[in-house]
Amino acid sequence: MDGNAVSEHPEARSPALRRLLSFPDPVNEVSARLVAGGVVVMALVTIFTDSPWMAVVIAYGFWARVLTGPSLSPLGQLATRVLTPRVPARTKLVPGPPKRFAQGIGTVLSTTAAILALGFGLRGPSYVLLGLLAAAATLESVFGYCLGCRIFALLMRTGLVPEDVCESCANIWARQAPAGGRA
């Protein structure tokens, strides 16, 4: 046995696992907006039907998307395989890392909402979090404004997220800099 094989990362030995645990880059903006629309619907149904168990479904979707992109997400599969091909909109490819970061924020909010509602019986605070999630997802779905992506951009500008995490983002943010050269 090669001495390096012991210290080799498990993902390096399994290309299938590495493919599964990947996130698309670039991402089709149309699909991202459709997924966000689904999140809005599910969050509002959860709140207005007082169905706290649905917070688990929402959280699962975010966990699946942040870990595997659309691969293990029923909503991601619906958006990418069924809805997007039927929407008469041009494909717009955007960098994947900011979208994954935004999915991470959704993962934290939805998981916290599920734990508050089901673990502690705190439906009110849970629904507030789901309402915030629905508001952010509405911005994405309706207006194409990804709040998580904007936070990612701020973190890149301040240096908290290194440029090599998303080199295409660094180029995008440089192109969007104001005329005075300040970002």
Token couple for 56: 């688990």
Report the domain count for the chain: 1
Asked whether the beta carbons of 138 and 146 are under 8 A apart, the reply is no
Chain segment 31-84, per-residue pLDDT in tens: 999 999 999 999 999 999 999 999 999 999 999 999 999 999 999 999 999 999
- Overall pTM surpassing 0.85 (yes/no): no
Asked, for residue 36, whether it belongs to a domain, the answer is yes
Cis bond leading into 52, ω under 30°?
no
Residue span of the structural domain in which 139 resides? 3-145
